[in-house]
A and B are shown apart, each in its own frame.
Chain A
Amino acid sequence: GESVGLHLPTLSVQEGDNSIINCAYSNSASDYFIWYKQESGKGPQFIIDIRSNMDKRQGQRVTVLLNKTVKHLSLQIAATQPGDSAVYFCAENEPGGFKTIFGAGTRLFVKA
């Protein structure tokens, strides 16, 4: 099976609150991770990435945290907005290969 998975299939948050989407990976040799966002009717779009030599990386309203000890990745979205409603996928690189391995996805609902 896939080595990347997600803890929750859906997440519902109030507009303005912070969102945290979690992801577990099983291959300790993976050294590059990406979060993608897929809105309805569109393909996945790159949000933010992180390499294994880092444990935190910040973007605009998004932060990715990497805990290599427990093989856990999270995406934090600050001040969640209705436009953040989408499915979020974590992905990792295939160690020694060239593939991107995707997790199952978490659907984020933002309540007004």
Chain B
Amino acid sequence: ETGVTQTPRHLVMGMTNKKSLKCEQHLGHNAMYWYKQSAKKPLELMFVYNFKEQTENNSVPSRFSPECPNSSHLFLHLHTLQPEDSALYLCASSQGLGGKEKLFFGSGTQLSVL
């Protein structure tokens, strides 16, 4: 195990639903991230939190709303999603913030929007 746990593993939702993805890291890291992984596309960075403060919102639509109550927990609240939002959503953490940090990923939530 990587020390980063994501729930649920799979999620199917309609476009009018509201759901939340949860991530928890047990590594004592200070930075946490949300990535989107679509078929045949590079990993897309969505949000970055450092010491529970948001440092990056990578032009993500407002139907995705992150929340970081503390350095160990990260949520992604979803509402009125579109079918093209169907993807694997990966949470990651790193000791510090920076491109020279190793990222530790969870197993992801496979999201299907109907």
Is B61 engaged at the interface, CB distance under 8 Å to the other chain? no
Contact B45 A2 (CB under 8 A): no
In this complex, how many residues of chain B approach chain A with their Cβ under 8 Å: the count is: 24
Contact B41 A104 (CB under 8 A): yes
Interface contact tally, CB-CB below 8 A: 59
A31 nearest CB neighbor, chain B only: B100
Q: Give per-residue flags for B1-38: 1 if the beta carbon is below 8 A from chain A beta carbons, else 0.
A: 01010000000000000000000000000000000000
With A and B bound together, what is the CA distance between A112 and B81 in angstroms? 42
With A and B bound together, what is the CA distance between A36 and B99 in angstroms? 14
Interface majority SS (helix, strand, loop, mixed), chain B = loop
Query: Contacts A89-B43, A98-B48, A104-B41: A43 and B108 contacting too (C-beta < 8 A)?
Result: yes
Residues in A whose Cβ lies below 8 Å from that of B42? 2, 4, 89, 101-105
Contact A43 B92 (CB under 8 A): yes
Contact A102 B43 (CB under 8 A): yes
Pairs across A and B, CB under 8 Å, 16 listed: A32-B100, A41-B107, A43-B105, A43-B107, A43-B108, A44-B105, A45-B2, A98-B55, A98-B56, A98-B99, A100-B99, A100-B101, A100-B103, A101-B42, A101-B99, A102-B43
Known: A46-B104, A49-B102, A100-B99. 12 other contacts (CB 8 A): A2-B42, A34-B102, A36-B103, A42-B105, A43-B2, A43-B105, A43-B107, A44-B90, A45-B105, A97-B99, A98-B48, A99-B56
User: How near does chain B come to A106, taking the closest CB pair, in angstroms?
Assistant: 12
With A and B bound together, what is the CA distance between A104 and B105 in angstroms? 17
With A and B bound together, what is the CA distance between A95 and B4 in angstroms? 27
With A and B bound together, what is the CA distance between A32 and B41 in angstroms? 22
Residues in B whose Cβ lies below 8 Å from that of A101? 42, 99
Residues in A whose Cβ lies below 8 Å from that of B41? 104
Contact B107 A93 (CB under 8 A): no
With A and B bound together, what is the CA distance between A100 and B43 in angstroms? 10
